Every structure is written in C-alpha cells, then in structure tokens.
Structure 1
Amino acid sequence: MGRLFNNRMKGGVNDNVTITAYITASLLELETPVTDPVVSKGLSCLMSVIEDVKNTYTTALLAYTFSLAKDTDTQQQLFKKLEDVAISDGSHLHWSQSASADDSDSLAVEISSYVLLAVLSADSLTTADLGFANRIVSWFVKQQNAYGGFSSTQDTVVALQALSLYATKVFSADGSSTVTVQSAADTHHFDVNQDNKLLYQEKQLQDVPAKYSIEVNGSACVSVQVAQFYNIPTPTEAKTLSIDAKIEGDCKTLGQNFLLNFTVKYHGPQEMTNMLIVDIKLLSGFTADTSLLTMSISSEVLAQKYVEWVDTKEDHVIVYLTEIPKHISMNYKMQMKQVLPVKNLKPAVVKVYD
C-alpha cells in the first residue's frame, strides 16, 4: 500500500479488512462480476472476519460491499449490527465511530454515507426502506456547509455519491412544489418544477435578525438550506508545530562556514504529521550546502527516514519531510557560507508548515 501525504483524507480505512472491503466494493461498482477471482477471494476474506468486526466504519463499509454483491443474508447480518449502534434523533438517523452524537464528526458523515449506499443498493426497495433512507438524508442535509460540501474531501465524495443514488431512487418525472420562506416583514417564493428542478435557486433574506418560517406545498422533493455568514474576531489557534533555529559560528566574517541548527517538533492530536515543509530563507550574500543535512535524535534514526527531498528556489532552501512522530524533536544541521559581504544584514525567517 502507498501512503497519504494528508491524513485527513484517510477516512476510516486503516487496516487490511477495510482496505480489502474498499477495493472489493470499487470493483463491484465497476460491475465486475462476483465470479471474478479477485472479487470472489475478496468477499471470501471479508466473510471470514464479519463475526469479529467491532468497528462501526468497517461494519458500514462491509454492509455496502455485500449489498453490491447481492448477498442479502450477510447484508442483513451487518444491518443488525448497525441498528444496534445507530444514533436516532427524531426524524434524523446517523452513525458515528464513537457513541457520541457529534454532528461535526467528519467520519460520521462517511459512515452514514456507506449505510445509505448499502440500503439503496438492494435489488428492490420497499416503502420502509425509502423511509429509513430518508431519515439518513435528513441528517445529511443538516451537515452540509453553505457550498454543498461537508467537513473534508473524503466525506464529501462519499456523501455526494450516496445522495446522488438516493436522488435516482426517489426520482419522479411528475410533480412540482412551491417553497415559501417568510418572516413578519419579508417573504420569498421558490417554484420547483420539471423545467427547473436541477436549477440552484438563492435569495437573500432582508429581515435579519428575525424568525423565518418555511412552508412547502406540492408533490416534488426539494432541499432547502439557510446559510448565515458573519464575521468573528480572529481566533487564537493552538499551534501544533514548532521550529527553533540557532547558528553556530560567526556569520559576520566573510568566507567562514557556519552551521544552521533547526529543530522541528510536533505536539498535535495525531501520532504522526502529514508531509511537512521547512522553508529556510537564506541571509543575503549566503549560500547553503544542502548535502550536509543530518539529524540526531535519541533513537538515532537516519535523516533519510524523514527527509523526502531538499530543494533550492532562489534564496530559499525547501526541506520536505514525509512526516514526523509526536513529541519527538527532529534536529537538523545545514552548512552555510557567506560569499558576498552585505551591509545592514537583515534577519531571515525559518518556518515550518503542514
């Protein structure tokens, strides 16, 4: 398997079972027959671990995979597990990796998407199935941001796939609806019919702040969203990356070599960072020998383990680090030399970012 430069795109795929289910489901989506040796072996492998699966994400992904494979018995077995951990709130229904009903959880969107895909991928859908799916969709609509996406690229892709499939299942060539949004001093009407049903309609509310009501009359299914934009004071962000730079030697004597020591440290919530970039601005009149980049930490891990690439762009040295572990200082050294005297030398900046 390869590796992701950004672990926010990882979703819940973190072991052999989930990656096998993901690949098998992808092949089935491409209409590869279940008799294909790769698909058949993948399903057999997944079937052998179903009883031991405790992870909600994996259970939802397996339910979708076996739904695509038209294995009704296994699908129902997995649905039973999902029903036991479902988070129900009135007309809304969703799943989360934990028992918390945290609506901002990106993984909850992805898990619920796979459950919705599993329900809608059955050969025949009953009214009860569509009612069940509608509760999930109702929760989805509440999670969408003002631009139609969700928390991350990963959950947005899967959620839109699930919502698109739902739209095909409830599609009707007939019907229209009128949506009325009104307050005491402001009224807006939206007409949704067969000629404009794919058209995005938007109007600005004039009576804000105020209490608005939404009324829908008709037989067509519509999605209504209210977006509020406002400014807040710049929040104080908790820094999870730090860098400290020091110089060994006399940088004021022409032609003298000196060492730039810099330490990168990560103290965020994940065990490892994404790919990091260290941007070193050279002092005016100085050059750098990038071949001497070394690292020394308590475990004596070689520099090459984390240094992916070193590049020079004009008066900058760019160091690409594949990742660094949590709470371990990464100490690097780079040799520099002054080749041209410069008066009134100004400080240069060394920075690190994800």
Structure 2
Amino acid sequence: MPYGCGEQNTVLFAPNIYVLDYLNETQQLTQEIKTKAIAYLNTGYQRQLNYKHRDGSYSTFGDKPGRNHANTWLTAFVLKSFAQARKYIFIDEVHITQALLWLSQQQKDNGCFRSSGSLLNNAMKGGVEDEVTLSAYITIALLEMSLPVTHPVVRNALFCLDTAWKSARGGAGGSHVYTKALLAYAFALAGNQDTKKEILKSLDEEAVKEEDPVHWTRPQKPSVSVALWYQPQAPSAEVEMTAYVLLAYLTTEPAPTQEDLTAAMLIVKWLTKQQNSHGGFSSTQDTVVALHALSKYGSATFTRAKKAAQVTIHSSGTFSTKFQVNNNNQLLLQRVTLPTVPGDYTVKVTGGGCVYLQTSLKYSVLPREEEFPFTVVVQTLPGTCEDPKAHTSFQISLNISYTGSRSESNMAIADVKMVSGFIPLKPTVKMLERSVHVSRTEVSNNHVLIYLDKVSNQTVNLSFTVQQDIPIRDLKPAVVKVYDYYEKDEFAVAKYSAPCSTDYGNA
C-alpha cells in the first residue's frame, strides 16, 4: 500500500518502538535488530517532520497554503510517538513541547477537545460522540507519553471522559463500540480500574464470540463476499477497536491477572487471524494499534522454552519438511513453498514452546464484471488511432464516483497502471493536485497513484498525459483500480487500452 501522507507514515515509525520495547522487556534484543529499528525510527522521524505546521501541529499532507488544516488526532498520535521514541533516538524537545501546547489550546472548558481536520477513516466516527471519541484518543496519547494524571490537560481530559461515560451508562443514547473501547483503555492507563472493568463488562455483552476467538464489530459494515480460497480481512476499524480492548485487559498494575490473560488470549486468537503475510493488517492505524497490543501480550506471556519445538509439514504425496523453533531462533521467520496447490497438507508440532504458523495463498485473477461501490469510467483521448500523435502520446481521463452504502468514502486511492511501453508525463500528473479533490499524487513502479480526500456520488474528473517510452507490439489493456484506503473490500476496477494498441505502427 502507498505511504504518501502524514498518517500513513506513522505505520513506518511507531511499530519500531513496540518491537524494541518488547525485545527489551523479554531480553531478546540483539545489536543487529536494534541498529535496524533505530535506523527506521530516524528515517520515520525526519519524514514525519514534512507534515509539521509552524505552530507545532501536524496534518495529513503538511502545511500547504489554503489546505489541510492542522489535524487534532494526528498531532496527538505524533506527539506520543515522538515522546515514546526519545529513549531510542534523539527527538528535538521543541517538537514535543510545541505539539503539547497546540493540543492544550484545543481543549475546551469541559475538558473535551475540539476537532480540527478530518478523520480520514469515517468508520471511526461515533456519530454524536465524535468529540468524546477524539478526546479519548488524545487522552490515551497523553497518558502513553507518561504524563501524570495530575497534569492539568490530562486531569481535565479525564473529567470529560468520566462525564461522558456516566451519561452513556445512564442511558442517554448509549455509546458506540469504538468509543467504549477507547474509554476502557484510557481509564486503564489512568489507573481507574473500577471504571475500566465496568466498561469491559459492557463491551463483553456486545462481543462477537465465534467458537474461541472474540472480537468486536460495528453496525452497518459493508458486506463482503467469502469464497473457498478467499477469507476477507476484517475492516480496519474493527481490528483497531478490538486491539484497544486487548490493551485495556493488559493494562493493569502491577500485572494482568490470569483472568485478564485468558480473556486476552481469545482476542489474540482473532487478531492474529487478521494479519497479512507481511505481519501487518488491513490499513495503517489498525496495524499500529494491533501490533502495540500484540507486543504487549507477548511481553506479558513470554517464557523461555525449556526444549525446542519441531514443526513437521507433509503432504499426502512425497513432500515433507521440518522446522526447528528454539530459544536461539524464535525471532527468525522460517518459510517454505508448498509444491502443489490445491493439496492436502498435515502439520504436526512436537516438543515445547509457542509457535505461530501462517499459510499465505496468492493468485491473480482477471477483473470480473460485477457491482462495485465505486463507479470508474476510463477513456483515452484521442479515442482512436486516426491522429498520428496517438502512437506516441495520449491522455487518460478518469470519471470516479462513490455508489456504496455510505454517503461518501474514506480517503480513496486511484491506482492507474501504465500500458506497457508508456510512462506518465509528470507535470500533468502534478497538476492534478490543483483539484480540490486531490491531496497528493505519486508516480511509482509504472503506476500513477492519486490520493482523493473522499469520494461522493458527485463525479470527480481527473486526466493526465502519458507518452511512449519504448515501442512495443500488440499492447494489452491496463487496469485502473480505485479503492477505499480503510475499507479495501470497497473497490472498483476498469480497463483501458492505448488508442493504437492493435496497430502495427505502434511497434
């Protein structure tokens, strides 16, 4: 996935802190891993400063004239990440004090925080409770950066959350599951175990319990198809809210009880099923929060194996392979390619210790004609090969609108693959950023990526020019994919061809 904005950059920064914390706490940190993680932190730190405003706040695409107001929740996230990274890399103290001052200026008399900028993922919104949800998020950030509960900003923020929970508990409209998950973790960090337990009890009544795994879902989520070989990942917001509940169970002084760890284990079972083959999740914030929660669970349950575990995988035919997992190599990712798919394989584990085994099946399919939640119409100008210039240059025009179940999409990406032998004319791509709908553009690996703030049922028209780089015969169509960055199951694909794709003169 692309990482071209200030929110997406956080996924390249924060998880390194959680990895270092986990390996430190479990005494597994090697110099090699430490050097690599610190290099990533330094790079992420410098990159994040590109999105800083003069007043110390941060926004999704930086301090652009007339656009992208400072973003409250992104500033809170960057602030706590920088504060947590201080023990590993140099962070200019000015970047922390400025961001904290700016956030304190957004706090209202009732202790809640006013919103600035937009939530790119509208699944995180709790309706009328947006202010409470945002305030809980900011309170968590302040407590995670180790500010005491007596700090004026934190104290007032906790008053806001306490008032909100008492109101919700009293039956004044209930409370959104996402908001409850944030509240549970915020009160856990503040050391208010009674309120935390009360909220967790309420959340338990709303949990989805499928055999062993436990997770939380949100109302009116988009329906997705399930096939024999394809099990869709859970939406980003559901991974995130479930991870917050896990963090709430694990945040107990002096340590989580056996009862807490039992409840946590059932959540971990579900979360690990949502991980992709690279170790991340569906999107950005869910990856950050889930990895934080899983690393915390790993620290709480870590024990050194007394003997090695042996994993044997064999097929109904002649294939057989073995993996050894012991204290010396348990951080090593071991892989094997299965020779035949589909096929019957058996896994057997002997010995002692904890082993995580994942299978990943990847395959390509031609785009199918089906109903998509986006409408994408792609045209080339000129549309035919009659114009002599069409052999070497043409314009790609996109008409995009959202026709899904919501009033509008989250931030969306239009990914335009180039026809073989053609490259985009970069100045014409850059000009797209003048549109009120486009936040950023990138040219990467023969693709043009266009970031759209959101897409509604109002059609957005975008066009840029491509030119021939290498003459190629018998050109095949290329694919355009438009997808919701936070609900990747909401997408649309369309194909386009070069005007002279079947003309010999193009060779």
The 5-angstrom pairing of residues 1-354 of structure 1 reads: 2=71, 7-8=120-121, 12-13=124-125, 15-50=130-165, 51-52=167-168, 53-98=174-219, 104-106=233-235, 107-123=237-253, 124-175=255-306, 176-184=308-316, 185-236=318-369, 238=372, 239-241=374-376, 266-269=401-404, 270-272=406-408, 274=411, 306=436, 323=453, 326-328=456-458
Which residue identity is paired with 1:181? I
Q: Which amino acid aligns with 1:218?
A: G
Partner residue, 2:35:
none
CA distance in 2, matches of 1:188, 1:105: 32
Q: For the Cα contact (< 8 Å) 2:181–2:244, is it kept in 1?
A: yes
Deviation at 1:98, TM superposition (A): 2.6
* Cα pair distance change 1:20/1:202, threshold 3 Å: same
Deviations along 1:265-291, one digit per CA (max 9) or x if unpaired, are 6233343454789x9xxxxxxxx9xxx
- For the pair shown, the structure with the greater C-alpha radius of gyration is 1
Q: Does the 8 A contact of 1:240 with 1:268 survive in 2?
A: yes
State the secondary structure of the residue aligned to 2:124. coil
Which protein has greater RCO, CA pairs closer than 8 Å, 6+ apart?
1
Partner of 2:423: none
- The Cα of 1:309 is off from its aligned counterpart by 8.8
What are the superposed Cα offsets for residues 94-141 of structure 1, whole Å, 9 maximum, x if unpaired? Answer: 111138898633222111111111111112222222121111111112
Taking the aligned partners of 1:225 and 1:80, their CA distance within structure 2 comes to 32
Measure, in 2, the Cα distance between the counterparts of 1:128 and 1:40: 30
Alignment TM-score, normalising by the size of structure 2: 0.50
Q: 1:347 maps to which residue? A: none
The aligned amino acid for 1:104 is: Q
The residue type paired with residue 12 of structure 1 is: M
- Structure 1 distance, partners of 2:220, 2:440, is 44
Distance 2:249 2:481 in 1: 45
Q: Choose between structure 1 and 2: higher helix proportion.
A: 2
Identify the structure with the greater strand proportion: 1
SS in 1 for 2:233: coil
Give per-residue Cα distances to partners, 1:154-210, cap 9 Å, x unaligned. Answer: 211111111111111111134332222222232221111111111111111224332
| Shift in Å, 1:308 | 7.5
Change in CA separation of 1:171 and 1:17 when aligned onto 2, cut-off 3 Å:
same
- Cα distance between partner residues in 2 of 1:207 and 1:140: 28
Report which stretch shifted further, 54-63 or 119-128: 119-128
TM-score (norm 1): 0.70
Distance 2:309 2:461 in 1: 64
Distance 1:309 1:22, change over 3 A: closer
1:306 is displaced (CA, Å) by: 3.6
Moved more, 66-75 or 93-102: 93-102
Q: In structure 1, the residue corresponding to 2:136 is in which secondary structure?
A: helix
Give the conservation status (yes or no) of the 8 Å contact 2:377–2:400.
Answer: yes
Distance 2:349 2:451 in 1: 54
Runs (4+) of structure 1 exceeding 4 A deviation are: 3-6, 99-103, 241-246, 262-265, 307-311, 320-325, 329-332, 351-354
How far apart are residue 307 of structure 1 and its match? 6.7
Residue 81 of structure 2: aligned partner: none
Alpha-carbon shift at residue 213 of structure 1 (Å): 2.0
Identity percentage of aligned residues? 33
Letter in 2 for 1:142: K
